Amino acid sequence: MFLCHRCQEQFLALFEKTKIDGVTIRAIYDYNEFMQSNIYKLKGCGDIELAPCFLNYHLPWIKLHYRNYYVVPVPSHASRDDQRGFNQVEEIFRCSKIPIIKALFKTSDRKQSDLSEEERKKVSETIRWNEAVDITDKKILLVDDVMTTGYTIRACIKMIKDHLPKSLEVLVVSRVADKG
């Protein structure tokens, strides 16, 4: 993947580190206007060629840091993926060659960003575990594209922890900064 220097400057990596429920969360980028427009192009318009741009030069670091891990993407509803033709989180992390396990799936096709604060908290009810997979004693990396309030991530962490992985870390592409 080659990016010109002008685009490269805009993809300003921060690797901001926080913790939720004792799990390390790394956010590669801040969710600024540039990220917003690019993620919209990928997700909303289905421009699949953009997918490898998000990791590009950080790929070696990610490969090294998360070796022997298994990627579990945060789910989106199947109807939306069919409409788009692909799942954006899988596409972003496909170029890292870390094996992907689809351990979670979603039963509601409502977008998290359209809901109110109260409704967002109920997200855990719509996420289900795929009984066919086994993650016991595996290192799991949970990945997502945008993290806003963290309710989805929290629900996913809880669900993965119930199935006893060896270790769990979270990597999100961009994170909306707290307004407070």
Partner 1 sequence: MYKCSRCGNEDVRFVGYKKGEPYCRRCIGFQGANAQENKQRTHQSKLVLNYDLSPEQQEASKRISNAIRDRRNVLINAVCGAGKTELVFDVIKEALIQGRQVGFAIPRRDVVIEIYKRLKSVFPRNKIVAVYGGNNEDLQGEVVVLTAHQLYRYDKYFDLLIMDETDAFPFHGDALLEEMFKRSCKGNSIMMSATLTDKQIKKFEATGGELITIEKRYHGHPLPVPDIVLMLGILKHFFLIRKLRSFVAQNKPVFVFVPTIGKCEDLSSFVTKWVRGGNHVHSKRENRQQIIEDFRRGKYKYLVTTAVLERGVTVKNLQVIVFESDHKIYSTSTLVQIAGRVGRKKDAPKGEVIFLSDKKTSNMEGALCEIRAKNKNLPPML
Q: Are 108 and 126 in contact (CB under 8 A)?
A: yes
Rounded Cα distance, 163 and 51, in Å? 30
Interface residues with partner 1 (CB under 8 A) are 41, 44-49, 85-86
CB of 46 to partner 1, least distance (A): 7
Q: Which is nearer to partner 1, 88 or 152 (CB)?
A: 88
- Shortest distance (Å) from residue 19 CB to partner 1: 34
C-beta separation of 95 from 51 below 8 A: yes
What's the rounded Cα separation, in Å, for the pair 54 and 143?
13
Task: Give the C-alpha separation, 128 to 48, whole Å.
Answer: 27
Nearest CB to partner 1, comparing residues 44 and 60: 44
**CB-nearer residue toward partner 1: 5 or 19:** 5
CB of 66 to partner 1, least distance (A): 27
Q: How far is the CB of 17 from partner 1 (least distance, A)?
A: 30
- CB of 2 vs partner 1, minimal distance in Å: 12
Given the complex with partner 1, which of 49 and 109 has the nearer CB atom?
Answer: 49
Task: Supply the DSSP symbol for 166.
Answer: S
50-36-58-86 Cα dihedral, nearest 10 degrees: -40
Q: Which is nearer to partner 1, 47 or 134 (CB)?
A: 47
Q: Are 106 and 79 in contact (CB under 8 A)?
A: no
Give the angle 148-128-160 at the CA atoms, nearest 5°.
Answer: 70
Minimum CB distance to partner 1, residue 86 (Å): 7
Nearer to partner 1, 34 or 86 (CB): 86
The count of other CB atoms within 10 Å of the CB of residue 1 is 12
